[in-house]
Amino acid sequence: MELYSLTIHQLKEFLHKKEVSVLEVTRAYLERIKEVEPQIDALITITEEFALQRAKEADEKIKNGEAKDLTGIPVIIKDNISTEGIRTTCSSKMLENYVPPYNATVVERLLEEGAVILGKSNLDEFAMGSSTENSAFKTTKNPWDLSRVPGGSSGGSAAAVAADEAAFALGSDTGGSIRQPASLCGVVGMKPTYGLVSRYGLVAFASSLDQIGPFTKDVTDCAIVLNTIIGHDPMDSTSLKIDKPDYTSYLKEDIKGLKIGVAKEFFSTGIEKGVKETVQKAIKVFEDLGADIIDISIPYLEYALPAYYIIASAEASSNLARYDGIRYGHIAKNYEDLIDMYMTGRSEGFGKEVKRRIMLGTYALSSGYYDAYYKKALKVRTLIKNDFERAFEKCDVIVGPTSPTVAFKIGERTNDPLAMYLADIYTVSVNIAGLPGISLPCGLSDGLPVGLQVIGKHFDEGRIINVAYAFEQANKFNAKPQAIGGAR
């Protein structure tokens, strides 16, 4: 078995027993990147020199008996998470040459553990998209089928893990940007409870919705990474002070008597037949494991998507106002006066989708329309949150499909924004309510991965991991993407 195909917990065992060095592991991953990256275009920046330096330092830690869970484990960071001295572009011309002078808190925590950063991953510009086609630099391809999208906005991170370019990756989830690409690429992706993971150093899209989370090869790895990245951060005013649990203690197969809710709204029109059948088979697995399947309803779920796009776009309009070419970002070379400089610079620096959302958000916040749109969307947000609270009075977790479809063809939806937005129909409600959710592969439809989403109550990541792990052990997903070259 190749080193790059191992999980975090397998690598950890080899490294701690000194059966292999971090330098060997890092070189194996860098070689893998050279081999498959030309096909999938998952990365914006490859930090080979920095990675090899970190690998030598990690080997010293292990030698001195200072190894931690992620010491020597190779990781890729989504390119909207700040990395000191390493370009952080947000896949936008606006920040094409931006090099942060500081690390995001999550990056700092990974470095303290001794993780090895291999590079920065591609994304939809400023995390606005569901396919990673909105990047200013490249379109990432799905390792399962190079003619298809990997999902978005964290498509580069998901594709990198699926293609074994890293043992794990970090992404950000504003309306499904971790869970949806995890589903389309056949990996595990988790969006933690809002406020559980520090957002300090995450380039803001929609501040009340954004959350950083991990992509991993299995649920065990997800628990390991979560242990490192959660925790209060005084640099983030929305960061919460809670006791830090050990999420690996929830890696148990017993879910007998657990009440699993299935919302009828998750199986309404728009879901592909193959996806529906695969997820229904997955629900039967829970039944076989002794869980109680409870029918529930989330009546206001149908309003989640329009409410999300108003709230997210309004916050994006506000957050992206700082990119004016003076304080931040691209500056126009030719302009007549100050106003022309702003207009030309922002027109050149932002892509089509970002401009669309800025205009939508500015309109929703404008005088005369604030009450009709933004204020109403916030009221719908409360109704959706209340729906989930009522649902959780009947069940412990909620399961359903992560995405209504498998990975769609590149270019298929680029001229139809509404069809693109519908890719997030099952994920946005979780962000609106601030809940935790995980996506894990549950089977194939037409040879492409289908993701199962498990949603929990606030701070109930442990139970989510328990349910996901029990399913994973009972329903082994051993399929691997065949579209990319190289031994596996």
pLDDT tens-digit profile, the chain (488 residues): 799 999 999 999 999 999 999 999 999 999 999 999 999 999 999 999 999 999 999 999 999 999 999 999 999 999 999 999 999 999 999 999 999 999 999 999 999 999 999 999 999 999 999 999 999 999 999 999 999 999 999 999 999 999 999 999 999 999 999 999 999 999 999 999 999 999 999 999 999 999 999 999 999 999 999 999 999 999 999 999 999 999 999 999 999 999 999 999 999 878 999 999 999 999 999 999 999 999 999 999 999 999 999 999 999 999 999 999 988 899 999 999 999 999 999 999 999 999 999 999 999 999 999 999 999 999 999 999 999 999 999 999 999 999 999 999 999 999 888 889 989 999 999 999 999 999 999 999 999 999 999 999 999 999 999 999 999 999 999 999 988 864 44
Can you list the pairs that 415-421 forms with residues at least 24 positions away whose Cβ atoms lie under 8 Å? 417/353, 417/356, 420/129, 420/130, 420/131, 421/130, 421/305, 421/309
Q: Is 297 a catalytic residue?
A: no
Predicted confidence at residue 249, as pLDDT, reads 98
What does the angle CA 161 – CA 90 – CA 417 come to, to the nearest 5 degrees?
85
Nearest to 323 by CA among 294, 361, 354, 281: 354
Is the pTM for the entire model greater than 0.95?
yes
Residue 240: exposure state from Cβ atoms within 10 A (0-12, 13-18, ≥19): middle
Predicted confidence at residue 487, as pLDDT, reads 40
Q: How far apart are CA 129 and CA 119, in angstroms?
A: 21
Assess contact for 114 and 141: CB atoms under 8 A: no
247 contacts: CB under 8 Å, gap ≥ 6: 222, 223, 224, 226, 227, 461, 462, 465
Nearest to 76 by CA among 192, 177, 156, 196: 156
Q: Is 177 a catalytic residue?
A: yes
* CB neighbourhood size of 296 (10 A): 21
3 contacts: CB under 8 Å, gap ≥ 6: 11, 20, 24, 25, 28, 29
Paired tokens of 243? 């006791």
Q: Where exactly are the structural domains of the chain?
A: 1-488
Q: How far apart are CA 215 and CA 156, in angstroms?
A: 11
Q: How far apart are CA 117 and CA 482, in angstroms?
A: 26
Q: Is 445 a catalytic residue?
A: no
SS3 68: coil
For the domain 1-488, what is the CATH superfamily, name and number? Answer: Amidase signature (AS) domain (3.90.1300.10)
Predicted confidence at residue 488, as pLDDT, reads 41
SS3 145: strand
Selected catalytic residue, list 91, 131, 153, 239? 153
Selected catalytic residue, list 78, 141, 191, 217? 78
Assess contact for 414 and 420: CB atoms under 8 A: yes
Q: How far apart are CA 421 and CA 413, in angstroms?
A: 9
